[in-house]
Amino acid sequence: MALEDLCHFRDIFQEDITTERFSIASAISSQESPSAFPLPTNLPFTSSQTVPLPFPMAHGTTTLAFMFQGGVLAAADTRSSCSGLVACPASQKILPIHSHLVGTTSGTSADCMLWKRILARELRLYQLRHSRRLSTRGAAKLLSHMLHPFKGTELCVAATLCGWDGGELFYVCSDGTRLEGMLFSVGSGSPYAYSILDQGVRWGLTVEEATSVAREAVYRATHRDAYSGNFVDVFHITSKGWTRRKREDLKEEYYREKESD
Amino acid sequence: IFTLQTFGDPGKMKDYHYTGPVEHRFSPYAFNGGTVLAVAGDDFAIVASDTRLSEGYSIHSRDSPKCYKLTDTTVIGCSGFHGDCLTLTKIIDARLKMYKHSNNKTMTSGAIAAMLSTILYGRRFFPYYVYNIIGGLDEEGKGAVYSFDPVGSYQRDTYKAGGSASAMLQPLLDNQIGFKNMEGVQHVPLTKEKAVQLVKDVFISAAERDVYTGDALRICVITKKGIDEQTLPLRKD
């Protein structure tokens, strides 16, 4: 691609991570002011109250991610609700950012979708400028700092970034939280998911066992939480990149369970 | 997760109980009603809308269709606040021209959808009160429908209803086109004729039960030969 030639860029996505050359990278060159598309330009600094909206936003979810010996696993439901109406029963809440980084989204779907896109753009620009991929830790910090000017506004983004630099998991929230951890669950259904995960997740799980724990956790959460439901998506991240399991309808699971009672 | 305050349901009857003095702020939005629907098939797409423009208890116009032609293969349906619909379509047209002049080709449906998402999100803190649905053909010639929320979240669907009667129409479409909530049914692919008939039936039902939908139905059928428009009368009451 033309931009790659201009930057004398060598695509390192295909190469093993240990052969990257590390440059003493300066801080990420400051991106253009927020007036460059598509960051929202009209921050409500002038009015003390924001404009009252005549419609509700899309919220409510169950997402989870955890690390184990086989990599990082991320799972989420697919229901996108809008104060009582299911606006979309098949939305995608786990968005791939690049081949080795996946982000789960929770909060307002428009905010999550657009900020993930902005993050993907910035990570790609970083990679082209500095000839190396930004680590998951760096991506989390970048996202957190990009969201900081909007703290106190109605932006609602609660994402977990699951990446492979040796396996890393970070939770970033629009109120400024940025945490590293081994296990996170986010959303209105997270208390139910946590109970399954706290019982079932161990470091030594195999990939099949881990997938079934993740699926079970999302299933139980969708069963009890009104704002989660429909399908479950499972993504698995390893040194070779992310792989996606086929989307599963939880209705079948529910009837299977009923029959075995 | 926090929910946003909604200041009364738009356009619906307010309660007549006296709860105390209420401060009325100027609201920059109005709700002009209308329903939009889009269906994608194997080699066609349909975008349909009613043509009633209302506000509160009045009807401003019986002939204000909500489908706007963007390119030879893409039509957008916008319902919600008519002022924002007009401005948004003007902005999209301008951006389409700019793209055509810089890149010497017409924008594809997918590209228009991605662009609209960023246009809507640019006004995240004072949104366009418009529910958009784009219907068109993708680069392979297959039907594509992209549905949006007012702040730019979007995804590709096979069918979607938006606007005032969307909550009534969407379950019907889920059943008839998506074969949902039925057991043991053969999934027959949708033909263009069956799809047009279904859209007509669905709007007739919507006009029965939704006060903001009615007067006439405008259907745009998009195939690789071009865009074919039909108009059908609906209930005027």
pLDDT of A1 higher than 80: no
What is the per-residue DSSP string for B178-227?
Answer: T-TT-SS---PPPPHHHHHHHHHHHHHHHHHH-TTS-SEEEEEEEETTEE
**Residue B26 forms contact with A (CB below 8 Å):** no
Task: Give the CB-side neighbour count of residue B196, counting CA atoms within 13 A.
Answer: 14
Partner-chain contact A54 B120, CB within 8 Å = no
CB B44 within 8 A of CB B224: no
Give the pLDDT of residue A13.
46
User: Which residues of A fall within a CB distance of 8 Å from B3?
Assistant: 56-57, 59, 83
- Number of Cβ pairs closer than 8 Å across A and B? 100
Partner-chain contact B1 A106, CB within 8 Å = yes
pLDDT of B137 higher than 60: yes
In the predicted model, what is the mean pLDDT of residues A161-184?
A: 88
Report the C-alpha gap between A223 and A204 in whole angstroms. 28
Show the beta-strand stretches assigned E in chain A: 63-68, 71-77, 80-82, 85-88, 94-98, 101-104, 158-163, 168-173, 178-180, 183-186, 231-238, 241-244, 248-249
Tell me which of A254 and B62 has the higher pLDDT.
B62
Give the pLDDT of residue A7.
61
Partner-chain contact B151 A39, CB within 8 Å = no
pLDDT in tens, A71-118: 999 999 998 887 777 888 888 899 999 889 999 988 888 898 999 999
User: Which residues of B fall within a CB distance of 8 Å from A233?
Assistant: none
**Residue B110 forms contact with A (CB below 8 Å):** no
CA distance A165 to chain B (A): 30
CB B198 within 8 A of CB B158: no
CA distance A41 to chain B (A): 6
Report the residue of A55, A80, A150 to disrupt the B interface, i.e. the one with the largest count of B CBs within 10 Å.
A55
**Residue B99 forms contact with A (CB below 8 Å):** no
**Mean pLDDT value across chain A:** 79
ipTM of the complex: 0.79
**Mean pLDDT value across chain B:** 90
Partner-chain contact A38 B7, CB within 8 Å = no
User: Which residues of B fall within a CB distance of 8 Å from A152?
Assistant: none
In the predicted model, what is the mean pLDDT of residues B44-71?
A: 94
Partner-chain contact B7 A54, CB within 8 Å = yes
Tell me whether strands B159-163 and B154-157 are parallel, antiparallel or unpaired. Answer: unpaired
Partner-chain contact B120 A92, CB within 8 Å = no
Residues contacting residue A255 through CB under 8 Å, at least 6 positions apart? none
**Residue A191 forms contact with B (CB below 8 Å):** no
Out of 3.30.70.890, 3.60.20.10, 3.30.930.10, 3.40.190.10, select the CATH number for domain A63-260: 3.60.20.10
Residues paired with residue A52 on neighbouring β-strands, in sequence order: none
**Residue B179 forms contact with A (CB below 8 Å):** no
Partner-chain contact B6 A56, CB within 8 Å = yes
Partner-chain contact A114 B3, CB within 8 Å = no
Report the C-alpha gap between A208 and A234 in whole angstroms. 12
Phi-psi region of B230 (alpha: psi -120 to 50; beta: other; left: phi over 0): beta
- Return the number of other C-beta atoms located less than 10 Å from residue A123's C-beta: 20
A61 catalytic? Reply is: yes
Residue from A18, A41, A50, A61 carrying the catalytic annotation: A61
Q: Which helix (H) or strand (E) holds B115?
A: helix B109-121
CA distance B87 to chain A (A): 17
Report the C-alpha gap between A79 and A87 in whole angstroms. 8
Question: Considering all CA atoms of chain B, what is the largest pairwise distance in Å, rounded to the nearest integer?
Answer: 61
Task: Give the CB-side neighbour count of residue B108, counting CA atoms within 13 A.
Answer: 10
**Residue A183 forms contact with B (CB below 8 Å):** no
Give the pLDDT of residue A154.
83
Report the C-alpha gap between B63 and A72 in whole angstroms. 56
CA distance A38 to chain B (A): 5
Q: How far is CA A58 from CA A54, A131, B17, B20, B72, in A?
A: 13, 38, 31, 32, 32
Top-ranked range on mean pLDDT: pick from A151-165, B20-34, B108-122: B108-122
pLDDT confidence of A44, banded at 50, 70, 90?
very low
Top-ranked range on mean pLDDT: pick from A34-38, A197-201, B179-183: A197-201
In the predicted model, what is the mean pLDDT of residues B136-154?
A: 93
Partner-chain contact B155 A40, CB within 8 Å = no
At B18, list the tokens. Answer: 């006296």
**Residue A108 forms contact with B (CB below 8 Å):** yes
pLDDT confidence of A27, banded at 50, 70, 90?
very low
Report the C-alpha gap between A111 and B99 in whole angstroms. 26
Q: Which residue of A has its CA nearest to B152?
A: A110
Q: How far is CA B82 from CA B48, B68, B85, B112, in A?
A: 17, 13, 5, 21
